[in-house]
Amino acid sequence: MLATMKYKILILLFTLSITKVGLPQDIHFSQFNDAPQITTPALTGQTIITDIDSPLLRAGANFKNQGASISDPYRTYSAFFDGSVDVKKLKKSQIGFGVLLYNDKAGDAALQNSSGMLSLSFTRGFNRFNTLTASLGFSIGFINRTVDLSKLVFDNQWNGVIFDPAASNNENFSSSSIFALNFNFGGLIKYKLNNNLYVLAGAGMSHVNKPRTSFYDNDNRINPKLIIHAEALIISPRNITIEPGFMYSAQKASHESILGSNINLAKRDVQLIIGLWYRINRDIIPLMGIKYNGFKLAMSYDVNISKLNAASNYMGGIEISLIKVFNENHRGLECSDYQ
């Protein structure tokens, strides 16, 4: 029992040490293409096929449960709503608007990160038929971090026999709940080559103001996070759509790359989604989903293949996304050149 207690203490102290040096768990969805405002604010009110003359209205939610095989898992939730409107006084232009809510929770100490963001984007067409467009986006909001200190024990509370929670921990916590402003921005370019091929590439920068979120009385901050991403939509014969993608992120010493593709198999009004993605040197990510009547439901699982698999037993985290496009019936793809 004492060994189990020490194991939990090590996990909790490790969690707090991450907090103390300013390297908290950041938003970490494998299905980055279904978390648009998290990837970059420039995707607010935009998809790879969104046309300047066809405004978008969309809502979505994401959930991820990771690390359950090693310790108390990170449970991550997000919900968003966004849309776009034509700018009548500015030709070939569109404005996007959106809101994003986010929360994750982990550990016996109930370490939580919560965030709320408001996003705006501006899209401009650059050729005769607006097949080439560029977007800029910006978001502003808050970050709140909390921890339940009553659920933690420290080395100063060890009396030689047991840990005494009534004893002083001698830690200089300034607060157990911290608020900070957060700023993000990004840009992207979209190009429709023909009715069978659409491409998109962009970048975003999160935490550009380096929010201070330390529980200690010091100046430790969240480091800016760079995200570079690209997607394509390939419409092939026999009602098959291929959606390859790539995402790279860098935050101080942490780097992550994901690449792969989804394949949509359409039959009448229903599309079956089958995907395979790879987080380089870390996870293999199979995906399955369905599209129907403006809804898209997808579920993936991170199969951990990194050096951590000795502890994780190849178990990573399940992830679920649900998106509804409200005006999709008025925004369908044009007829393919194959038809």
Extents of the domains making up the chain: 2-330
The tokens describing 159, both together, are 């009396």
User: The domain 2-330: what is its CATH number?
Assistant: 2.40.160.40
Alpha-carbon distances of 330 from 49, 293, 294, 313, 325, rounded to whole Å? 13, 12, 10, 47, 10
35, burial (CB in 10 Å: exposed 0-12, middle 13-18, buried 19+):
buried
Q: Which is more confidently placed, 321 or 75?
A: 321
| C-alpha pair distances (Å), 83 with each of 46, 61, 97, 99, 243 | 8, 15, 6, 10, 22
What pTM, to 2 d.p., does this model score?
A: 0.82
Q: Is 1 helix (H, G, I), strand (E, B) or coil?
A: coil
User: Between β-strands 177-194 and 132-146, what pairing exists: parallel, antiparallel or unpaired?
Assistant: antiparallel
| DSSP 8-state assignment for residue 216 | B
Q: Once rounded to an integer, what is the mean pLDDT over residues 291-311?
A: 85
- What confidence tier does 268 reach under pLDDT thresholds 50, 70, 90? confident
For residue range 121-172, list pLDDT tens digits in order: 999 999 888 899 999 999 999 999 887 766 666 666 676 667 666 666 666 6
The HSE-up count of residue 310 (CA atoms within 13 Å, CB side) is 1
